Structure 1
Amino acid sequence: MNKPIASGRKVGGLRPLALQGPAVTLLFLWMIVPLSMTVWFSLQRYNLLMPGMDEFDGLTNYRYLFTDPALWSSMITTLLLVGWVLVITVVGGTLLAVLFQQEFFGRGIARVLVISPFFVMPTASALVWKNLMMHPSNGVLAWLAGVFGMEPINWFSSLPLTSIVIIVAWQWLPFALLILLTAMQSLDEDQVEAARMDGAGPIAVFFFITLPHLKRAISVVIMIEMIFLLTVFAEIFVTTSGGPGLATTNLAYLIYIRALLDYDVGLASAGGVVAIVLANIVAIFLVRMVAKNLED
């Protein structure tokens, strides 16, 4: 027999479902309508330059997409971008979290300053890096190269993907630091002190106490960052426009090219479906990894 609770609802009854129904329905429609339209347009021959000529075309868009070298190039670029940014942010965030956990003068101000890049809009940060830091003539890095007697680097021509990785990593490193530094607050200092009394040095403490303690937080950082890094767009649009050639064209930017530069809505929608499938595969893998870490 169901027992009433203070709010008047019954555990296991229909009333909770009725209360949750509108929200669940709204979220379902919010997701399913755009997804259904994307799948539908991916099966159409629909080019904005040829109005009135749209027709059902089956899997033609997918056949063309999977035989297009630009797709595979963009997927490799996406994986390289995501992988390198994750390495930089996770390793750098872990080391910085250990550093900022120590007591030193001005630590509070330093924490605020090091986290602030995460709150800068991607377009603004890309413009700062393009015109202030990486400009081959007037940039800060060009000036530093001149100070040390080296030739300035034209970053976006010579090292385009590296430039994008640096910009995106600069934005996401504070996020990783914030999560990992928060996790560091729960580290048992008595355990660390006991290890030091037993003769463990800083490196041993880091690898055998600090790093295992941060394992769950690192998993969360990887999961959240990877989902967002699959859709990096503004940094590429502002700095390299996907070039030179296809050197910095990731999957998100390729979809933009097909939709808003080539006006091929059908082909762009097919690319969108591929991106959704890829993102879901990654999400399933990451959710399982995080769940496994939480169970440990």
Structure 2
Amino acid sequence: MATTHTRSAARLMMAPSVIALFIWMIVPLALTLWFSTLRYTFYDPLTPFIGIENYTYFLTDPRFISAFQNTLILVAGVLCITVIGGTLIALLLDQQFFGQSPVRLLVLAPFFVMPTVAALVWKNMMMNPVYGVIAQGLTAIGLPPIDWLTNYPLLSIIIIVAWQWLPFATLILLTSLQSLSEDQKEAAEMDGAKALSIFWYITLPHMKRAITVVILIQTIFLLSVYAEIFVTTGGGVSSSNLPFLIASIISLEGDVGTASAGGIVAVVLANIVSIFLVRLVGKNLEA
């Protein structure tokens, strides 16, 4: 049992790490807040204080609405594909078959591919309308090829990001499946339950916590997708999300003040989403 002395010693030993972490987090945030209240650009040496003007400009910019909508569509689309697809693949991998270990390794492999590399592979080898794999397949069955990145830029990015995150969802959901007791399913089969009923009333409720954790973790990372957009479409109204819009404002326009305001807005929105998901996870863990 810990004594008052040991607790104090533990806090003292942890203090340097906690202080360093606090400084590492609070200094960039404080500077971003300060820059967001200045008319700060790369092309003007003067940086007068303008209050919330940068926030007003960013929030009323038509590009913000479009980027915010694209961010929500991107997150929702990837989550739908990864959760549903991950559940189906996990159910398949949970079965006994020849070559199970190599297949599992191959299914998990895309998660270890760097985002930039994955985007380049999909852009040049899969979605190219001339020599891409998808175009060749469509041509082989008599259908015209599709210029994915031109005609369906946001859908293309959703497919690429979902391909990267599908192994993660599969791994978490497969782990959850393997912890399910076979006795419950055998008892349900003896009572005459069909496979679909067993999945709906036994397997899916058991996987609920794992699904919630997948949604929480993926959402945090999906809110900051950037490399896939930069490599494939290069942005634009139809495919830019909030991180890409903020990066464009500071890199192309040199407007540090507005970009900083956009960063604060993005942080606030991300925290709102995270708080909602954390509460959702908490309810599922208590259930």
Do the structures match in fold with TM over 0.5? Answer: yes
Q: How does 1:61-80 map to 2 (within 5 A)?
A: 61-80=54-73
Read off the aligned partner of 2:22 and give its amino acid letter.
Answer: F
Report matched runs for 1:47-196 at 5 Å.
Answer: 47-50=41-44, 52-196=45-189
Deviations 1:13-40 (A, max 9, x none): 4322222211211111111111101111
2:272 aligned with 1:281, yes or no? Answer: yes
Structure 1 unmatched ranges of 5 or more = none
Partner amino acid for 2:17? A
Q: Does structure 1 residue 249 correspond to structure 2 residue 249?
A: no
AA of the residue aligned to 1:240: T
Q: Is the aligned partner of 1:20 residue 2:11? A: no
TM-score normalized by structure 2?
0.98
SS at match of 1:214: helix
Shift of 1:67: 1.2
For 2:253 and 2:105, how far apart are their aligned partners in 1?
Answer: 44
1:38 and 2:32 correspond: yes
Q: Which runs of 5+ in 2 are unaligned?
A: none
Q: What's the secondary structure of 1:268's corresponding residue?
A: helix
> Hey, what does 2:5 align to over in structure 1?
10
Q: 2:253 aligns with which of 256, 259, 262?
A: 262
Structure 2 CA distance for aligned equivalents of residues 129 and 25 of structure 1:
43
Structure 2 Cα separation of the partners of residues 53 and 4 of structure 1? 57
Q: How far apart in 2 are the matches of 1:103 and 1:173?
A: 21
SS in 2 for 1:45: coil
Deviations 1:238-275 (A, max 9, x none): 000113xx100000000011011111000000000001
Q: Please tell me the residue identity of whatever aligns with 1:291.
A: G
Question: Secondary structure of the equivalent of 1:10?
Answer: helix
CA distance in 1, matches of 2:9, 2:114: 43
**Which residue, out of 194, 202, 206, partners 2:195?**
202
Q: Secondary structure at the match of 1:137?
A: coil
Distance 1:210 1:10 in 2: 48
Number of paired residues? 287
Deviations 1:127-146, CA, capped at 9 Å, x for gaps: 00000000010101110110
Q: Does 1:222 align with 2:186?
A: no
1:271 aligns with 2:262: yes
Instruction: Give the drift of 1:149.
Output: 0.5
Q: In 2, Cα distance between the equivalents of 1:159 and 1:217?
A: 32
CA deviation string 1:21-61 (max 9, x = no partner) = 112111111111111011111111111022x1222111110
Residue by residue, what CA displacement relative to the aligned partner does 1:212-250 show, whole Å, maximum 9, x if unpaired?
Answer: 00000001000000000000000000000113xx10000
Larger helix percent: 2
Q: CA deviation at 1:174?
A: 0.4
Give the whole-Å Cα distance in 1 for the aligned partners of 2:274 and 2:18. Answer: 21
Per-residue CA distance 1:141-180 (angstroms, 9 max, x = gap)? 1101101111100001111111000000000000000111
Aligned-partner Cα distance in 1 for 2:17–2:275: 24
Alignment-mate amino acid for residue 97 of structure 1 = A
| TM-score relative to the length of structure 1 | 0.95
Post-superposition CA distance 1:180-214 (Å, at most 9, x none): 11111110011111111111111011111110000
What is residue 294 of structure 1 aligned with on the other side? 285
Q: Percent identity?
A: 56
Distance 1:190 1:27 in 2: 47
